[in-house]
Amino acid sequence: MSELNELSAYTNTIKTRSAKDSISVGDKVFVVQKTKRTLGTVTKVNIKKAIVDMRGRSYSVPLSMIEAA
């Protein structure tokens, strides 16, 4: 079980690094949830989260949930 937890943490770290390297302010991105993907625009990139404007509102989204559009 501990190996699975370590693997899960590692994959989330890789997703976060990949998202942080590939996005910048003004980019169009998809916020990926379990059953849907929502298009938005990045307004700010923080250390672990990004502020994404979706449907007229701003949300703080973990970088591991963001894909470049």
Rounded-to-integer distance, Cα 66 and Cα 33, Å: 9
Q: List all residues 6 or more positions away from 39 whose beta carbon is below 8 Å from its beta carbon.
A: 28, 29, 30, 54, 69
Neighbour order of strands in the sheet with 57-62 = 57-62, 49-54, 37-45, 28-32, 66-68
Give the model confidence (pLDDT) of 2-59 as tens digits. Answer: 899 999 999 988 888 887 888 899 999 999 999 999 999 999 999 889 999 999 999 9
Which tokens in the block code for residue 29? 């991105």
pLDDT of residue 57: 95
pTM: 0.77
The residue with tokens 């973990």 is 62
Instruction: Summarize the confidence of residues 52-68 as an average pLDDT.
Output: 92
Q: Domains, the chain, ranges and CATH?
A: 2-68 (2.30.30.140)
> 36: part of which helix (H) or strand (E)?
none
